[in-house]
Chain A
Amino acid sequence: MSQIHESKRGRLKIFLSYAAGAGKTYRMLEEAQDLRCRGIDIVIGYFEPHGRKDTIAKTDGLEIIPRKKMEYRGSEFEEMDTVAVIARAPAVCLVDEFPHTNVPGSDRAKRWEDVLKILDAGIDVLTTMNLQHLESLNDQIWQITGIRVRETVPDWVIKQADEIVMVDVTPEALINRLKRGVVYAPEKATRALDNFFKEQSLVALRELALRQAAHEVEVRHETPRPTDRLLIHITGEPRTAMLIRRGRRVADYLGAECFAVYISESGDLSGLAVSERDAIQRHLNFARNLRIETRILQGHNSAVALVEFARREQITQIFFMRPKSRRKMFSTSNLISDTLRLGRDIQVTVVADRSAP
């Protein structure tokens, strides 16, 4: 059954790098030209020229599926025409900028969702992405660059890729390209040089990308024997998103199952202030979007309820957010120290705040 499914589903290949201008699209088009020469039916579903001459030249002879025109708030936008791509049914489709967010009113919110749709139709997809869009790295990217990346791709989506290829370039070469105006128009280039393209940020992002690529290669040729099962404690605190990301990342590296629970006196979210309820709902949704199994558990004492759940689910490690202050820690440390005391053989991880300086 699963084999039939696998043979029908298209293969996904991601060209990964760490900044615009690294040559991902170029590399992808080179491969497309190669495939075309070998007689493979290949089309461009979406291509972002950014006015780069040698990249545009590489599209020569490739069939382009016209984009879909969309209107939003009186302006015209163009998105990939996923329906047209699927109707055309090529063997391979090129889709630039995997993390892109579609204009409101599109069938799907994200381009990666369109790509999954195309794969489902049995079409192979080549796509491009920068590492900073990976959800679980969002806080670290913020730390390094001072920029909160809004367009993120959940890690499980990347795991769907059959192949990830690192498109490497030195930061020096990247900065030179930017200065020569190859990557962006002059005004945008100056802005980019001040932000993402600071040399130290680029070096750091590059290291992160190389390590991620190594990890992606590894998980594709060996699955670790799962030894851990993780549980994340959800609250309405804004830093919970950070906690979820870190928990997810650690779980991925350890090949561990991951759960997230919110403990409520009533057993549901009723009786909470609206803002608190919304925050908790948001965090639970966020966890679910990252493919973390979530629960709302009834309990008067959070530590007791968490440990009970942990016992039942054979959890090995519970993730907590760092208490805000020392004073707070001593007054409410009950949760962490009670969990430690009650948990007996369950480990407790207190996750650091990873935020921009």
Chain B
Amino acid sequence: MNMEQRRDPERILRELQRDEERQKRGHLKIFLGYASGVGKSVKMLDEGRRRRERGEDVVVGAIQPQSTSEIDQRLSGHEIIPTVKVSGKDVIDIEQILRRRPQVVLIDGLAYDNPPGSRHAHRWQEIDELLQASISVITSINLHYIQELQEEVACITGKRPAETVPLEFLKRADDIEIIDAPAEEQQRSRLREMALLVAAEVVESELKSYLAAHHIEENWGIQERILVGITPRSDARTILESGRRNADRFHGELFVTYVRQPEISPQDQTALDKNLEIAREVGATIHVLDGRDPVRALIQFAKRNGVTQIFIGHSQRQGWWHRLRGNPVERLIDLAEGIDVRVFPQRTGS
């Protein structure tokens, strides 16, 4: 399915500019762990040492306040740019780092807030500035501090950290590496699972941009994406609840589509509204599609969004789909090349 896309000059120019910016910008690597003590700092310092041995100019910009002998031992031999005190808090000496201009700076503890009056409120913003100045950064973060996961983490741990980093910042990293370690208790297991999934998500966006940059159109279905197609008359609850359960089990995404129908009757509109309400209840993203051929509209949406499974209702009765072009389920199966189709029998109309 490799497809070379048409290359328009505008697009090539945009890409070149983006490439240039990317080349100028420092390289960001993040070590992600699900708890403190899994070895993020050690990994970071080890990587710094290896790079120095390969001739890169590496300095340490920040270390964690609680030090262990393992870390102290690894710090020796590194050039350290000491942090400065601002209102009694340790802050990276960003001006000193910019003056010193190393190739790589190690900054432990990505989620760190600076005291008021600092150049940047958050450490991740300081890192951004260093990257813009063509300095590469290696840093580490604990899952707990990812902004978007605050709710879930608080549910598990009962704690809500004050300092957070947006997931978007992690997604922008050139490299992310997860430090995985066994977890004995259930609580830690759940955090561990979340960390692995966050890493997978970051890798997914990396894969997407890689494929886009190389004009490769592939859908390998690495992340399961379930699409439930509903109509006004489908008995949507069963399908939607199953869609939700399956999406959860696969840690996948759930889409719900409805192909807009011309001249919908008031009863159908009411039924449809009810079905869309259920879709919202199960937390699906709803997409209303247009298209004279509903089957084609559904398939096009599915392919564009990397859907791996389509859930659809099927009734014995002849509905509007049938009238259009023969048996719609058969047509759907026929066109759904590369996508599983799960058909739910329905007692009500189509």
Interface residues of B in 289-344 (CB under 8 A from A): 314, 316, 327, 329-330, 333-334, 336-344
Interface residues of A in 312-357 (CB under 8 A from B): 317, 322-323, 326, 329-330, 333, 336-337, 340-341, 343-354, 357
Which A residues touch B251, using CB under 8 A? 211, 214-215
Q: Determine whether A203 belongs to the interface, using a CB cutoff of 8 Å to chain B.
A: yes
Contact check, B343 vs A347: say whether CB atoms are below 8 A apart: yes
Which B residues touch A345, using CB under 8 A? 345
CA distance A340 to B341 in the complex (A): 13
Interface residues of A in 201-244 (CB under 8 A from B): 203-204, 206-208, 210-211, 213-215, 217-218, 220-222, 224, 227
Which A residues touch B218, using CB under 8 A? 200, 357
CA distance A217 to B197 in the complex (A): 11
Chain B binder among A71-79, A109-117, A161-169:
A161-169
Which B residues touch A227, using CB under 8 A? 245
Q: Determine whether A106 belongs to the interface, using a CB cutoff of 8 Å to chain B.
A: no
The tally of residues in A whose CB lies under 8 Å from a CB in B reads 60
Given A203-B206, A210-B178, A214-B196, also A349-B1 (CB < 8 A): no
Given A172-B175, A254-B249, also A348-B197 (CB < 8 A): no
Which B residues touch A89, using CB under 8 A? none
Interface residues of A in 77-100 (CB under 8 A from B): none
Q: Determine whether A140 belongs to the interface, using a CB cutoff of 8 Å to chain B.
A: yes
Contact check, A330 vs B330: say whether CB atoms are below 8 A apart: yes
Choice from A199, A207, A337, A344 contacting B203 with Cβ under 8 Å: A207
Which A residues touch B181, using CB under 8 A? 165
Contact check, A349 vs B220: say whether CB atoms are below 8 A apart: no
Q: Determine whether B90 belongs to the interface, using a CB cutoff of 8 Å to chain A.
A: no
Rounded to whole Å, the gap between the CB of A150 and the closest CB of chain B is: 20
CA distance A203 to B176 in the complex (A): 12
Contact check, A165 vs B223: say whether CB atoms are below 8 A apart: no
Which A residues touch B336, using CB under 8 A? 350, 352
Contact check, B333 vs A350: say whether CB atoms are below 8 A apart: yes
A-B contact pairs, 25 of them (CB 8 A): A140-B222, A167-B180, A168-B178, A168-B199, A170-B175, A170-B176, A200-B210, A203-B210, A206-B203, A207-B200, A207-B203, A211-B196, A211-B223, A213-B196, A214-B193, A217-B192, A253-B250, A323-B333, A341-B316, A349-B340, A350-B333, A350-B340, A354-B221, A357-B1, A357-B2
